């Protein structure tokens, strides 16, 4: 037994060292609550966009952050005067941030492997976002831009192209880690920041 004691102590130390250095593997370590990468995601924040549809209406649409659920999703309500046709029948979205990744969906997001945007996106980066019925490729063309909107000039934006599979057009998104979407230039729909309460 005396000869086994140093071996057992060494094994115990090794196990404790491994446990202390391991990160949780569930992908949700840094999900939920305030996220310094996306400070716009707070209960009560709202953001309004002026939009124009190619074959539809023009108006304003507002997104308002409600409470977070147990999975770290913000329930974001959508209202408009009128709402764009692309949002017909949609009264809310779910937004979630995990570390430097941003997720959206019309259902609560449980996993963390299908992000849509990332913090500190740099020119040349590209990623794929999957959704029901297809996928889209995002490519960062420029970063550090100042974008002019109805609400004023927004600094430190990324210019990102959005190409949905099996479509002919490529849309352009201007994204700010501080605000979220700032401007969207699409074939069927365009919008830009009009106001925000934060």
Question: What percent of the chain has pLDDT above 70?
Answer: 83
Collect all residues with Cβ–Cβ distance below 8 Å to 68 and sequence separation of at least 6: 32, 33, 43, 74, 75
**pTM for the predicted model, two decimal places:** 0.81
Q: CATH fold of 28-188, please?
A: YmcC-like fold (2.40.360)
pLDDT of residue 111: 63
pLDDT tens profile 21-33: 333 333 445 787 7
Q: Provide mean pLDDT across the span 49-78.
A: 94
Q: Which helix (H) or strand (E) holds 139?
A: strand 134-149
Of residues 19 and 65, more confidently modeled = 65
pLDDT of residue 25: 33
Write phi, then psi, for 6 (nearest 5 degrees).
-60, -35
Q: Range with the lowest mean pLDDT among 9-18, 117-126, 149-158, 188-197? A: 9-18
Helix, strand and coil percent figures for the chain, each rounded to 5:
10, 50, 40
Query: Do 61 and 48 touch, CB atoms closer than 8 A?
Result: yes
Write phi, then psi, for 62 (nearest 5 degrees).
-120, 135
Q: Provide mean pLDDT across the span 26-54.
A: 86
- The Cα 98–Cα 28 span in angstroms is 7
pLDDT tens profile 151-162: 999 999 999 999
Domain residue spans of the chain? 28-188
């Amino acid at each position: 037994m005396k000869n086994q004691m140093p071996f057992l102590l060494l094994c115990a130390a090794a196990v404790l060292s491994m446990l202390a250095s391991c990160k949780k593997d569930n992908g949700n370590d840094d999900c939920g609550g305030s996220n310094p990468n996306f400070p716009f995601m707070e209960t009560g924040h709202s953001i309004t966009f002026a939009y124009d549809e190619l074959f539809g209406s023009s108006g304003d649409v507002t997104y308002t952050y409600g409470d977070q659920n147990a999975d770290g999703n913000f329930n974001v309500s959508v209202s408009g005067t009128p709402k764009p046709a692309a949002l017909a029948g949609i009264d809310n979205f779910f937004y979630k941030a995990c570390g430097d990744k941003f997720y959206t969906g019309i259902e609560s997001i449980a996993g963390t492997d299908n992000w849509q945007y990332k913090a500190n996106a740099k020119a040349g980066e590209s990623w794929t976002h999957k959704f029901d019925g297809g996928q889209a490729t995002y490519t960062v063309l420029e970063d550090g831009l100042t974008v002019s909107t109805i609400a004023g000039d927004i600094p430190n934006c990324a210019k990102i192209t959005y190409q949905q599979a099996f479509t002919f057009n490529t849309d352009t998104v201007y994204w700010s880690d501080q605000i979220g979407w700032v401007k969207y230039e699409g074939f069927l729909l365009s919008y830009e920041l009009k106001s925000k309460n934060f």
